[in-house]
Every structure is written in C-alpha cells, then in structure tokens.
Structure 1
Amino acid sequence: MRLPLAALLFAASAHAGPGDAERGRALMADRTRSLCLLCHSLTPAGDANQGNLAPPLSASAARLSPADLRERIADMRRFNPATVMPPFRSTEGLRDVAPAWAGKAALTEQQLDDLVAYLGTLAK
C-alpha cells in the first residue's frame, strides 16, 4: 500500500510544526494515548514496564532518519503490509474500529512530530 509521490509530498508539507521532545516524551509515557511502550522498549536493556515484542526505540532512532521514523509511525503498513503496528496517522483499510474512533487518526500531526523529536534524543 504505497502512496503516490504527490500524496507523500503533501503529507510531508502538512506537518504541524517543529516537534517538541518533552511533549513527545510525555506522549510516549502515556499508555492511554500512544501505546508505543506496549510493544517497544526505549533501550535494548529493556524495562519490566515496557514491551519486548518490537525493536527498541533507541535502536530504531539511531538507524533511521527523522523522516523515516515519521513515515513508519504514521503507517508502517507501507513498509511491511503484515505489521501489527497500528497506523497512527491513517484510517484507511482498518476494520473493527470502535465507533468513537471511526474515521479518526490516533495521533495528530503535531503529536507525530513530537514523538519523532523525542525519539531523536534517544539516538544520541
């Protein structure tokens, strides 16, 4: 499910603004909003309160550019159609969505930028 170049360029230009790492950290820690830590740990050492089903986020941030991180969080299905990672900025092709969430993306553009800014701090 690859988007045409025009759609990718429009999505890239639709960013809300520069990401804020502190807001991204708070969002990452909030299990009711981002859910990242259900599957990922922040570091390879892990944490009993973090997931171990997906790659550590610090490793992903170290090997991917901010734009690549953003694209993967927005909709990982473009890179791996069989992924279990939710498409945080897409509502296309979803099934069994609660009525309250129908047609709504899980994250705003600003929240996505904030998460990417925070992930950038983990790569250092």
Structure 2
Amino acid sequence: MRALLALLLTAGAHAQVGDAERGRALLADRTQSLCLLCHALTAAGDANQGNLAPPLDGLAARLSPPELRERIADMRRFNPATVMPPFRSTEGLRDVAPAWAGRAALSAQQLDDLVAYLGTQGRP
C-alpha cells in the first residue's frame, strides 16, 4: 500500500504545469537529466547522443503526458529489468552516493518540465 501511495504521489497525482522551454534545457543538460546519455532526440541519431534507448522524437504521438510522467518517474513499474533510472523514486536503490541518499534525481517540477517538452515531440 505504501509503495502504491508513493507511486501515485510521484507519478501524477500532484502533477504541476510544466514549462516546455525549461524541459528542453533540462533535457539538453547532461549533468542533470542524463536523458541524452541513453536517448537520441531523433531516430537519425547524433554522435553526441545515446543509442542505448529509443529515440525521443514522436513521444507525443505514442504516450500521453501522464504516461510519459509515470515512465520517467519510475520505469521499473513497466519493465522491472530496465536500466533507466527511477528519476522520482528512491525505493529499492543500492550503492547510492551519500549526497543523493533518500533524494530523487529530479524534482516534481523538473519532471513536469520534461514532460511538457517531451509532449511537444512528435506533434505535427
């Protein structure tokens, strides 16, 4: 029950209005969001972006904002074997640096900003 409550709180129950421009800047900042370490922005790829995970273009056509938010918050809910970090959960993590112990990688506002930006990817 506690895990379900935590998931509801982090994955959408308190979603704020995100700012797409802040989300774009956060996504591009490889020291904060880490998105581009594994993902490319487009299917064509980029030598400075990842190729481990699916490209981010077209997300708005495939996933709703709540679905995007849930996956970024904790992809383990959809794929327990994922290598994607749980950006809004600290549950079940091991070997966490002391400075990050008990802290989510992204704030709720940062998550909403990323969702706002990613929601623009793939719209005509």
Q: Mark yes or no: TM-score above 0.5.
A: yes
1:77-116 map, 5 Å: 77-116=76-115
Deviation, 1:7, is 4.9
Q: Which runs of 5+ in 1 are unaligned?
A: none
> For 1:21-60, what aligned pairs fall within 5 Å after superposition?
21-60=20-59
Q: Retained in 2: the 8 A contact 1:19–1:110?
A: yes
- Contact conserved, 1:44 with 1:59, CA < 8 A, in 2? no
Counting matched residue pairs gives 120
Task: Compute the displacement of 1:14 (Å).
Answer: 1.9
Q: What TM-score comes out, normalization by structure 1 length? A: 0.90
TM-score in terms of structure 2 length: 0.90
Aligned counterparts of 2:37 and 2:60: Cα–Cα separation in 1: 18
Which stretches in structure 2 are left out of the alignment for 5+ residues?
none
| C-alpha RMSD of matched pairs (Å) | 1.4
Q: How far is 1:8 from its partner?
A: 4.7
Letter in 2 for 1:82: A
Q: Secondary structure at the match of 1:70?
A: helix
Deviation, 1:75, is 0.1
Q: Quick one: percent identity of the two aligned structures?
A: 78
Per the alignment, residue 14 of structure 2 pairs with 14
User: Could you tell me how far apart the structure 2 residues matched to 1:51 and 1:94 are?
Assistant: 23
- 8 Å contact kept, 1:44–1:56: yes
